[in-house]
Amino acid sequence: MPITFVSQIIAEDLISKLSGGFLADINIWTILIRVALTIVCSSIFGIERSNKRHTAGIRTFLIIGLSGAIAALLDVFFMVNFESIMPVICAALVIAIAIISANTLIYSSRNQIKGLTTSVALWATCFIGMSIGAGFYTIALISTFIIFVIINMLSNLEAYLKDRSNHFEIHLELKNKTDLQNFSKVIRELGLHIDDIESNPAYLNSGLSVYTISLSVISKELKQYKTHTEIIEALKSLDYVNFIEELYK
């Protein structure tokens, strides 16, 4: 791939244009600028995840972001100097990050899947690092801002919508398995429909009867005026219920 072609693509970036073409070149100064910008963008996600006590924190996000930037710089170098037509290093890194992201998912004994947001944030950080490393500053900065807003500022809206959806799952611990029939009766009287009941074998020798139950809200009154939190609070008052909580996936 001719050097003029690669340079022309990078030069189309708005920030590169505003710099008079300086940021489109690859030299020691622009490499340092790309590394510094990658550190800033990656740290934004790392700090946000650390503040929410997630396992993947600042160091993890920095390493992944910088790996993306280095991979893109190397691929641009090979394209310019060795006429490579495929960003091989970036492609390999994307696969590696996909594996790492998958390993951040946690499957708890209560059938909860945790770490989805962190998993996709790691993947996004890799792509942002690649964008900066390749010289696409504008898309990297815009993406960083948008993703940060999605991760950090839309969580309350997401919680609000989930708490008012017509379908939800609960983790239920009954003091005795014979109480399941009584619990099912109360559920129906409240205006809920049991879609599925799954016994949890992890609590087999605990003396408790533990279930994962999928519920649908069928009562118009419940749909209009009651949230999942309020429904679960009401169910907690039952004498035979040892513990109950909503499951989030």
- At 110 the pLDDT is 46
Q: Closest Cα partner for 5 from 22, 24, 20? A: 24
The more confidently predicted of residues 7 and 159 is 159
> Residue 133 and residue 65: Cα distance in Å, rounded?
10
Listed in sequence order, the residues at least 6 apart from 31 whose beta carbon sits closer than 8 Å to its beta carbon are 73
Which pTM was predicted? 0.67
Pairwise CA distance, residues 89 & 174, whole Å = 53
Q: For the segment 131-176, what is each residue's pLDDT rounded down to a tens digit?
A: 999 888 998 999 999 988 888 777 777 777 778 888 899 999 999 8
Rounded Cα distance, 11 and 30, in Å: 13
- 65-92 pLDDT per residue, tens: 999 999 998 888 887 777 666 677 888 8
Confidence bin at 104 (pLDDT 50/70/90): low
Tell me: pLDDT of 22 over 80: yes
Name the band, by pLDDT with cuts 50, 70 and 90, for residue 203: confident
Q: Which of the four pLDDT bands, split at 50, 70 and 90, describes residue 122?
A: confident
- Secondary structure of residue 171 in the 3-state scheme: strand
Question: What pLDDT shows up at residue 242?
Answer: 93
- Residue 209: phi and psi, rounded to 5, are -105, 115
Q: Is the pLDDT of residue 194 over 70?
A: yes
Q: What are phi and psi of 55, to 5 degrees?
A: -60, -45
Note the pLDDT of residue 109: 47
Query: How many residues does the structure list for the chain?
Result: 249
Tally Cβ neighbours within 10 Å of residue 165.
12
Instruction: Tell me the C-alpha distance between 177 and 173, whole Å.
Output: 9
pLDDT band at residue 225, thresholds of 50, 70 and 90?
confident
User: Considering the chain, what percentage of its residues have pLDDT values greater than 90?
Assistant: 31
pLDDT of residue 40: 94
Are 122 and 64 in contact by the 8 Å Cβ rule? The answer is: yes
Radius of gyration of the chain (CA): 25
Q: Does 1 score more than 70 pLDDT?
A: no
Task: For residues 128 and 136, give the distance between their C-alpha atoms in angstroms, rounded to a whole number.
Answer: 9
What is residue 161's predicted lDDT score, i.e. its pLDDT? 78
pLDDT of 2: 46
Alpha-carbon distance of 222 to 204, in angstroms, equals 33
Classify residue 63 by burial, with Cβ atoms within 10 Å: 0-12, 13-18, 19+: middle
pLDDT, average across residues 173-198: 91
Tokens 């003029």 correspond to 4
Tokens of 230: 């309020």
- pLDDT of res. 106: 56
pLDDT at res. 201: 80
**36 vs 60, residue with greater confidence:** 36
> So what's the pLDDT on residue 3?
47
CB contact at 8 A, 101 and 125: no
* C-alpha–C-alpha distance, residues 188 and 165, integer Å: 18
CA distance 104 to 122: 9
